Amino acid sequence: MRIGVLGLQGDFREHLTVLRSLGIDARDVRTKEQLDEIDGLIIPGGESTTMAYLLERTGMLSVLRERGAQGFPIYGTCAGMILLARELKDSSPENRLALMDITVKRNAYGRQLESFEADLQIKNIGEFHAIFIRAPKVVRVGPAVEILAEHEGTPVLVRQKNLLASSFHPELSSDPRVHQYFLEIVARG
């Protein structure tokens, strides 16, 4: 199994480190040709507007949109969640993948809470110490979306078949279990 991490912008190195610590063949992906060489993709945290622009410019956006709709596994963390969301509230990086039936609001946890940490209960995983940085807030989930964890009543880890998204950054906790959960989605096809 080979996992790609979108390496156009953002904290992709941290994801590579976690994957490699699990013995996974992981590489950063910057061209649409490289998408042919991987079994699943992680879209890291960063700046969703910049990433959206670069995805479009490299031609990766349309390829990923098509593959994601056909079952290719994609996990979006933070900015990656924004790119996966079908709908955004109050702002619009225009060139999104728009694959997942959720609505998110960017930078929605308020000024004092720009960054915070919280212990979550994740379905099938258990307690997980999560780090949120200018996180998007999920304000709606569609019927096909499974909520795997919530923070104060708001979904923070969600899954729709081959697609996984978190508003927090598991690559910054020294705990690989959310990555392992994504690897299981990739392995089971």
For ligand GLN, give the closer residue by CB, 4 or 45: 45
Binding site for ligand GLN (CB under 6 A): 45-48, 78-79, 82, 106-107, 133-134
37 is catalytic: no
Q: Shortest approach of ligand GLN to residue 173 CB, angstroms?
A: 14
For ligand GLN, give the closer residue by CB, 137 or 159: 137
The DSSP bridge pattern shows strands 154-160 and 146-151 to be antiparallel
Catalytic annotation, pick one of 15, 151, 171, 179: 171
Catalytic annotation, pick one of 15, 151, 169, 179: 169
Question: Please, what is the angle between helix 12-21 and helix 177-188, to 10°?
Answer: 80
For ligand GLN, give the closer residue by CB, 60 or 81: 81
Q: Shortest approach of ligand GLN to residue 56 CB, angstroms?
A: 15
Q: Shortest approach of ligand GLN to residue 46 CB, angstroms?
A: 5
129 is catalytic: no
Q: Shortest approach of ligand GLN to residue 48 CB, angstroms?
A: 3
For ligand GLN, give the closer residue by CB, 106 or 159: 106
136 vs 156: CA distance, rounded Å: 9
Catalytic annotation, pick one of 47, 56, 66, 78: 78
78 is catalytic: yes
Which residues are known catalytic residues? 78, 169, 171
